[in-house]
Amino acid sequence: QVQLVQSEAEVKKPGASVKISCRASGYTFNKHAIHWVRQAPGQRLEWMGWMHAGSGNIKYSQSFQGRLTITRDTAASTVFMELNTLRPEDTAVYFCARDFYSGVPAAILDPWGQGTPVIVSS
Amino acid sequence: SSELTQEPAVSVALGQTVTITCQGDSLRTFYASWYQQRPGQAPVLVIYNQNSRPSGIPDRFSASNSGYTSSLTITGAQAEDEADYYCNSRDNTDNPVVFGGGTKLTVL
């Protein structure tokens, strides 16, 4: 079955960077985009960006321009999300999710990874 | 960028029917998708492409669309349907994906 497995929880100090991995299995990795979405405690889902795993095409949310980098390792069927210059308000659970359709992202997210908690605190 | 607006909270008696709405400019062009999120879990897709259900989603979940609004209906709500529900869609602004604020559904 299609599955996304994310890396473990992280604790970071303000100003540091965090890099989270999302390993895909159960489908042809390079046919779909992977999205990153975060959820601060008690807050809404917030879309961060996507990368098409085949073409490498990337789109970032304006809210994260300049701080967010999404990369991939096609041999390992893994997508990475790196967020730098962390602030306490970046404390959240970070999810990866596959775009339902192959090709151009349709923003239909299925399935989702299990989530990676990130705590930013001095 | 565009936003999608949902009711913050809705309640329904066990076995009754409930509708949750999602409004926004992007829904004039794109269909909404709907996600169920139980506490401490990742979201799960329940509706996409106007009114399609992924494999494994019960047929008591359905959706309809009109103008700027998408509506998720649960017909015969069950205790396990108690969760947060989020809508999202594509968008034509600089941020191509937008989420609603979420609706907390309580089953009484």
* Residue A44 to residue B86, Cβ atoms within 8 A: yes
Q: Tell me: pLDDT of B64 over 90.
A: yes
CA distance B89 to A44: 15
Q: Which residues of B touch A108 (CB under 8 A)?
A: 33, 45, 48-49
* Residue B48 to residue A35, Cβ atoms within 8 A: no
pLDDT value, residue B92: 85
* Residue B90 to residue A35, Cβ atoms within 8 A: no
DSSP class of residue A8 equals: P
23-82 in chain A: CB under 8 A from chain B: 35, 37, 44-47, 50, 59, 61-63
Give me the count of residues in chain B.
108
**Confidence category of residue B51, pLDDT binned at 50, 70, 90:** very high
Give me the count of residues in chain A.
122
Question: Mean pLDDT of all residues in chain A?
Answer: 96
3-class state of residue A30 by DSSP: helix
Which pair of tokens denotes residue B92?
Answer: 């034509």
Between these two residues, A104 and A114, which has the higher pLDDT value?
A114
Percentage of chain B exceeding pLDDT 70: 98
How do the residues of chain A divide into helix, strand and coil, expressed in percent and rounded to 5? Answer: 10, 55, 35
Q: Which residues pair with A117 in a beta bridge?
A: A93
Contact yes or no for A11/A121 (Cβ under 8 A): yes
Query: Which of A62, A97, A106 is facing B94, going by the closest CB pair?
Result: A62
pLDDT value, residue B50: 85
CA distance B32 to A30: 25
C-alpha distances in Å from residue B42, one per residue of A65, B24, B38 = 25, 24, 7
**Helix, strand counts (H, E) of chain A:** 0, 11
Tens of pLDDT, residues A34-55: 999 999 999 999 999 999 999 9
**In chain B, which residue's Cα lies nearest the Cα of A64?**
B95
Which pair of tokens denotes residue B107?
Answer: 């089953």
